[in-house]
Amino acid sequence: MKNRMQSFVDRGNILISKGKTEDAIKLISNGLQYYTNRIIKGVSPYSKADAGLLVIVLRHLADQIEKKNEGAKEFVDGMSKCLVFPELEEMERIEKANRH
């Protein structure tokens, strides 16, 4: 069965409407971690030499998502002021490529 997530933002807005702002921020932080983990899992492993290319791809995707979803930019601007972004922990392993 394919995973389908209930919106973290919608659930957060419900909590805010009930006066539970702190709980809403925790929920949005959980959403941030959820999507971060999924994206990292999707792009890993990657070559250290391709890190810049990966950054370009992710920025392009972010720009397109922001452009095509009304209110996304405003949401990003607002939430970026109150969220604590997790530090990315990377382990460098040198292995021979098995694909080219």
Q: What is the pLDDT of residues 48-63, one digit of tens each?
A: 899 999 999 999 999 9
Report if residue 93 sits inside a domain: no
Report if residue 1 sits inside a domain: no
Report if residue 85 sits inside a domain: no
Report if residue 68 sits inside a domain: yes
- Counted domains in the chain: 1
How many helices (H) and strands (E) the chain has is answered by: 4, 0
Q: At 26, is the pLDDT very low, low, confident or very high (cuts 50, 70, 90)?
A: very high
Show the domain range for 47: 8-79
Q: At 86, is the pLDDT very low, low, confident or very high (cuts 50, 70, 90)?
A: confident
Closest CA to 86 of 12, 41, 30: 30
Helix (H) or strand (E) holding 40: helix 21-43
The pLDDT of residue 38: 92
Q: 31: how many CB neighbours lie within 10 A of its CB?
A: 18
